[in-house]
């Protein structure tokens, strides 16, 4: 696959199609060089991303809006070119002798924090899921899983071996990379499926009657989820528990400086603005049983801390 010179409107979905394709290229080069262990490869990719971030080129131009179908004279268009650029140290500090910035700026429970290089924040979600899983859960599902990073982490950090892991994702390149990594690991039952938050369909689930579903910073990429989003998920004829690890703190309350800045960032980037309202409405209507909400519980970049919501349909 070559995403080069495929001009498309700069939507979050088109961005991720390109971003996962670029990571697929990186992983394929490791596999071609003889790497055959998915855990090693994911860690090598994560280490690469400590030093480099992906930058996708975009230009202003005329294109058709993918949602309305209207031709727009001036919109940001992805050119298909993307490159890895060095992550710059913050606060005028020097790079470590390893080549990584010494800290990254983050926030947690409403305060800014500095996190040391190599701190493994990316595994927090996997630890949550492993500890939260119930003995009766017969499958684990991530909706909007990218290349399945969280699911692989759950497996490698001691999650159950005898359950199917459903890797549900919107982009073709994300699904392709998940499948490539899963093919290297015979002890994980990974099932790669299509999923669109704008059109909920869990028809791919098989006979399992009790299921743990989670999302991690994927609903964030959909400006407005449908009003029926949670009712549509809850309607699946199975017992489901859902945990959302999403950056919706500013939607709970926006009276602190982190939440105010988060709101501005989300408006500017066309990221999600209605998760919490739709969630509360579903709980009030009795479509779901909302059990827990935690604001800004996991550090994830200064203005995108992760909040958590848990609900079930039984
Ligand atoms: C920030 S990444 C997170 C990926 C993964 N959950 C993780 O934590 O590594 C956002 C993901 O949301 C996916 N996404 C964007 N729009 C989506 C949609 N409409 N339905 C499902 N997934 C979507 C993107 O393709 C991308 O994989």
The reported pLDDT for the residue numbered 68 is 80
Any long-range contacts for 181-185 (C-beta under 8 Å, 24+ apart)?
181/27, 181/38, 181/41, 181/42, 181/147, 181/148, 181/152, 182/38, 182/148, 184/31, 184/36, 184/37, 184/38, 184/41, 185/37, 185/38, 185/39, 185/152, 185/155
Cα 221 to ligand 1 centroid, rounded to whole Å: 7
Q: Which of 307, 308, 303, 309 is nearest to 107 (CA)?
A: 303
pTM of the model: 0.94
Cα 219 to ligand 1 centroid, rounded to whole Å: 7
The β-bridge relationship of strands 164-169 and 139-143 is: parallel
Average pLDDT, the chain: 93
Residue 311 and residue 216: Cα distance in Å, rounded? 15
296, 307 in Cβ contact below 8 A? yes
Q: Which two tokens stand for residue 220?
A: 């964030």
Q: Which two tokens stand for residue 32?
A: 């071609």
- Tell me which residue has its CA closest to atom 6 in ligand 1: 145
Which of 46, 170, 201, 265 has most ligand 1 atoms within 8 Å of its beta carbon, as the pocket-test mutant?
170
Tokens 């859960």 -> residue: 137
Which of 18, 141, 146, 220 has most ligand 1 atoms within 8 Å of its beta carbon, as the pocket-test mutant?
146
One-letter-per-residue 3-state SS of the chain: CCCCCCCEECCHHHHHHHHHHHHHHHHHHHHHCCCCCHHHHHHHHHHHHHHEEEEEEEEEEEEECCCCCCEEEEEEEEEEEEEEEECCCCCCCCCCCCCCCCEEEEEECCEEEEEECCCCHHHHHHHHHHHHCCCCCCEEEEECCCCCHHHHHHHHCCCCCCCEEEEEECCHHHHHHHHHHHCCCCCCEEEEEECCCCCCCCCCCCCCCEEEEEEECCHHHCCCCCCCHHHHHHCCCCEEEEEEEECCHHHHCCCCHHHHHHHHHHHHHCCCCCHHHHHHHHHHCCCCEEEEEEEEEECCCCCCCEEEEEEECC
The reported pLDDT for the residue numbered 1 is 39
Residue 186 and residue 35: Cα distance in Å, rounded? 15
Cα 28 to ligand 1 centroid, rounded to whole Å: 21
- Tell me which residue has its CA closest to atom 10 in ligand 1: 218
Cα 283 to ligand 1 centroid, rounded to whole Å: 24
Tens digits of residue pLDDT in 57-103? 999 988 777 778 888 778 889 999 999 999 887 777 888 998 888 88
- Tell me which residue has its CA closest to atom 8 in ligand 1: 216
* 285 strand-pairing partners: none
Q: Which two tokens stand for residue 166?
A: 């459903």
Tens digits of residue pLDDT in 125-162? 999 999 999 999 999 999 999 999 999 999 999 999 99
Burial string for 224-240 (b: 16+ CB within 10 Å, else e) reads ebeeebbbbbbebebbb
User: CA quadruple 311, 202, 279, 120: dihedral positive or negative?
Assistant: positive
The reported pLDDT for the residue numbered 172 is 98
Q: Which of 92, 5, 97 is nearest to 57 (CA)?
A: 5
pLDDT at 197 over 70: yes
In the CATH hierarchy, which top-level class contains the domain 121-312?
Answer: alpha beta
How confident is residue 297, by pLDDT bands cut at 50, 70 and 90? very high
How confident is residue 3, by pLDDT bands cut at 50, 70 and 90? very low
Region 228-238: mean pLDDT is: 97
Domain boundaries, the chain: 8-88, 121-312
The reported pLDDT for the residue numbered 6 is 64
Cα 149 to ligand 1 centroid, rounded to whole Å: 11
* Percentage of residues of the chain with pLDDT beyond 90: 82
How confident is residue 5, by pLDDT bands cut at 50, 70 and 90? low
């Amino acid at each position: 696959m070559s995403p080069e010179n495929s001009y498309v409107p700069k939507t979050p979905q088109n961005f991720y199609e390109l971003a996962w394709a670029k990571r697929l290229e990186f992983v394929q080069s490791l596999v071609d060089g003889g790497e055959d262990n998915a855990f090693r490869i994911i860690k090598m990719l994560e280490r690469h991303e400590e030093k480099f971030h992906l930058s996708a080129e975009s230009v202003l131009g005329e294109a058709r809006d993918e949602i309305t179908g209207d031709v727009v004279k001036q919109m940001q268009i992805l050119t298909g070119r993307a490159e890895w650029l060095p992550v710059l140290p913050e606060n005028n500090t020097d790079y470590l002798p390893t080549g990584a910035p010494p800290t990254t700026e983050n926030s947690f429970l409403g305060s800014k924090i500095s996190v040391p290089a190599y701190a493994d924040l990316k595994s927090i979600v996997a630890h949550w899921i492993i500890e939260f899983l119930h003995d009766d859960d017969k499958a684990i599902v991530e909706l909007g899983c990218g290349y399945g990073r969280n699911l692989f982490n759950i497996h490698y950090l001691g999650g159950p071996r005898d359950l199917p892991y459903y890797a549900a994702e919107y982009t073709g390149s994300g699904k392709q990379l998940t499948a490539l990594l899963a093919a290297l690991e015979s002890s994980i039952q990974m099932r790669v499926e299509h999923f669109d938050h704008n059109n909920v369909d869990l028809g791919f689930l098989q006979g399992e009657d009790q299921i743990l579903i989670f999302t991690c910073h994927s609903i964030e990429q959909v400006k407005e989820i449908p009003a029926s989003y949670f009712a549509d998920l809850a309607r699946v004829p199975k017992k489901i528990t859902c945990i959302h690890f999403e950056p919706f703190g500013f939607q709970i309350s926006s009276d602190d400086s982190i939440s105010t800045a988060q709101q501005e960032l989300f408006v500017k980037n066309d990221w999600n603005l209605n998760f919490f309202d739709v969630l509360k409405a579903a709980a009030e209507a009795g479509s779901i049983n909302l059990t827990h909400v935690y604001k800004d519980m996991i550090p994830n970049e200064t203005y995108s801390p992760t909040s958590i919501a848990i609900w079930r349909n039984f």
